[in-house]
Amino acid sequence: IAFIATAFMIVVFVLLGYSATVTVAGDSLPGDMLYPIKTAREKVQLVLTLKDEERVSLQMSFVSRRADELQKLVKTIDNTEIVKKAAQQISKDVKDVKDQLNKINMAAVNIIEVAKEVDTKTLEVKQSLTSVHEVLSKEIKDEVSGDLKEAIATTEETGTSALNVIIKKYENGE
């Protein structure tokens, strides 16, 4: 019985430690030691989300989070490589949203709501990226400008795709 109690206590402590780590990781920024835990948790959430439209909505929330992180990041550090990687990740993630949005069945019940949400959030992300670009030091701006512009362009394309989904849905008389 002592062995079972000890094993149980170890499992409880491991789970509590994991939970605490995941909670602390939630506030981490790109370049922080716990940031990979935060993004891994998000990936698990995406995998466990079964409905395509809910997955698109969740992933767009993560893109918005990345843009917020980038704004915080440029205020606190002067690391070109981290800023560059963060901008590239936003570009990749928003492209994934666009691809998934275009794959969703037009018969999905709440496709219009999801498309509206994506459109709204892409506008916010674009504004966030634009403001990041404006506050960067000249040295960093010179090195990451292309990545930020790519992220802005991809974000705009995703917003346009969302509007196209809405238009197609209305054209089909639904």
Both tokens assigned to 75:
């205020």
pLDDT tens digits along 115-169:
999 999 999 999 999 999 888 888 888 889 999 999 999 999 999 999 998 888 8
Helix (H) and strand (E) counts in the chain = 6, 0
Give the Cα separation of 86 and 151 in Å (integer). 10
Residue 8 pLDDT > 60: no
pLDDT of 104 reads 83
The confidence band for 3, taking pLDDT boundaries of 50, 70 and 90, is: low
Q: What is the DSSP string of 41-57?
A: HHHHHHHH--SHHHHHH
Q: Are 91 and 36 in contact (CB under 8 A)?
A: no
pLDDT of 156 reads 96
pLDDT of 13 reads 58
For the chain, what's the residue count?
Answer: 174
Residue 174 pLDDT > 70: no
Nearest in space to 118 (alpha carbons), one of 100, 105, 130: 100
